[in-house]
A = this chain, B = another copy of it.
């Protein structure tokens, strides 16, 4: 009887990479991790599956529709859809064992059963940092976050990007000064300005029965553009006599001053009064990051300040500030746009060791010596023609092939072939280590 074959495939909306791309992806993830760690963020790793009552404690909205929820026995469980809810649960649960401010990073997969569309994934990596205070958290933290973004994206190889910064309280205070009741609705409309344009924003605000004078002021306000210091001066000059506005403006100015202390150059951050970032979560500073060579990607790293992280799980007041990089989507977009120099090797091996008949022992020994010098390498163990062996090095993108035979063993000098140029040279161990390191 013929064995039944199931056609090998994965579900739509899931990313799976071939080795060369995977190496690039992992390099990005490692680079993000290294930068997060250098600022003293500490790793946590929460369960992928949590109680549904925990993940859905906040309830409502898109989340409930998109979540992967299921039962096993009597247990109602779900896959996490972000890393913020698990962080809130973690901090509330382990409150007495943690020291505050609690600086954590978390890089892991999250799951959302979204409608399937190009570049949107149902399983994707988020790379988050957050700083959680106990009752209070200094505004200086809000200024450190852009310096982490700056260091990370620089290290990822980007030169041209801008971190857009705003403060939700500035907007709120301004709306208060105009006597606007439904600030959430106005924010929602403003948030769309890049997509729908000024005229549509005006129209939608009018529909909301915002007075035309107020609409003009709103448009004037969110049209303030230019250098960070000019923006702040313009805001001051508006002479808005609203206390929360003035204190927020002072906060924004403080953040800007400290960002400079953190050595983020003015070329890489700007105050942008149009940024609101969602509706009911962020309460102060907010961030977006735009790759200047490819603004259509939208924000590649976003976040902000929130007053109370874990109100669904504890009565403790836990203010925080954080950001997230959606790595899977970012990688897809960069790859599509050919914005990243994709690794072309299917392995990290620097050398393939090829033994002539009867010299496998020496190849194995040499590989151990190279590894002892931190050189990633592999030995070709299979039998076959010498062409096939070099062909494997070529197809895998291994930069050097080292032959080991009678001559090599007698002279302790090995034939090293540069696979890119085809050039061959005889080298002793020391010389090899030098070029392979």
Contacts and interface: CB of A to CB of B under 8 A. Distances in A.
Interface of A: 3-11, 14-19, 22-23, 25-26, 37-40, 42-51, 53-54, 57, 68-70, 72-73, 75, 77, 79, 89-90, 92-94, 97-99, 101, 103-104, 109, 111, 113, 122-123, 133, 136-138, 140-141, 144, 147, 151, 258, 261-263, 310-315, 346-349, 360-361, 364-365, 368, 371, 374, 376-379, 381-383, 392, 395-396
Contact of A14 (B49, B111, B263): B49
Contact of A72 (B40, B49, B109, B113): B113
A90 B111 CA distance: 21
A57 to B, nearest CB: 4
Contacts of A379: 140, 144
A47 B16 contact: yes
B19 A45 contact: no
Contact of A77 (B7, B11, B258): B11
A347 B111 contact: no
B68 A43 contact: no
Given A38-B371, A382-B138, A22 B45 contact: yes
Which 7 pairs, one residue from A and one from B, show the smallest C-beta to C-beta distance?
A: A40-B378, A70-B70, A8-B93, A40-B349, A140-B381, A14-B47, A8-B313
Contact of A6 (B7, B262, B312): B312
Contacts of A141: 381
A68 to B, nearest CB: 6
A364 B312 contact: no
Contacts of A49: 11, 14, 68, 79, 111, 122-123
